[in-house]
Amino acid sequence: MEIFVKITYMVYTVSYIIDMVDELGFQQPHHGNRKVQSNFVLRDLGNNVINCTLWKNYALKFFNIQNKANDGPIVVFIKYAKIKSAGKYTLTISNTWTTTKLFINENVPEIIEFKKSLTAGIENGTVAAVAETPSQMMSQSSGGTQFTPYTPEQKFYHNEVMPLSKIVQLPQ
């Protein structure tokens, strides 16, 4: 919680952030009209939230982990992130092009400790329930009150937009 407060008030003494993915936002898993990116909301143990955007190889790493995730929350540990001040857009953290270190659900001491604290927080009621799968995170971000997968119509509306020239090249 203290880290989010420091970021919000522009106190840049934070060297890393470690939190769980709470909601998925816009996802661009393939090059197209936009760069590869993953947007999501991180939530800390104090139930504070902050937006996060990962670009290019960092986003690809996130997609790889997200596609394999099937139990428990996705925990993201970012060192040397860039903080984009609130202004035209909401306050967001993102990776730098080469300096950022990104660990997702890895067995590093910081993630192990975070998961222990998360479990304790859920058990004693200080941390709200977490989305445990990517489909649950998508349901949250689409405004659902329950954790339910997308309906076929929602999947259609949330699919990637691409030009016809790319569509005809897709495998059958």
pTM of the model: 0.68
What is the structure's pLDDT at 2? 54
Q: What is the mean pLDDT of residues 117-141?
A: 70
Could you report the per-residue pLDDT of 10-38, keeping only the tens digit for each?
545 457 888 999 999 999 898 877 889 99
Could you report the per-residue pLDDT of 51-67, keeping only the tens digit for each?
999 999 999 999 999 88
Q: What is the mean pLDDT of residues 95-114?
A: 93
SS3 labels along the chain: CHHHHHHHCCCCCCCEEEEEEEEEEEEECCCCCCCCEEEEEEECCCCCEEEEEEEHHHHHHHHHHHHHCCCCCCEEEEECCEEECCCCCCCEEECCCCCCEEEECCCCHHHHHHHHHHHHHHHHCCCCCCCCCHHHHHHHHCCCCCCCCCCHHHHHHHCCCCCHHHHCCCCC
Domain range 2-167, its CATH number among 3.40.140.10, 2.40.50.140, 3.40.80.10, 3.30.2130.10: 2.40.50.140
What is the structure's pLDDT at 145? 30
More confident residue, 73 or 131: 73
Q: Is the pLDDT of residue 149 over 60?
A: no
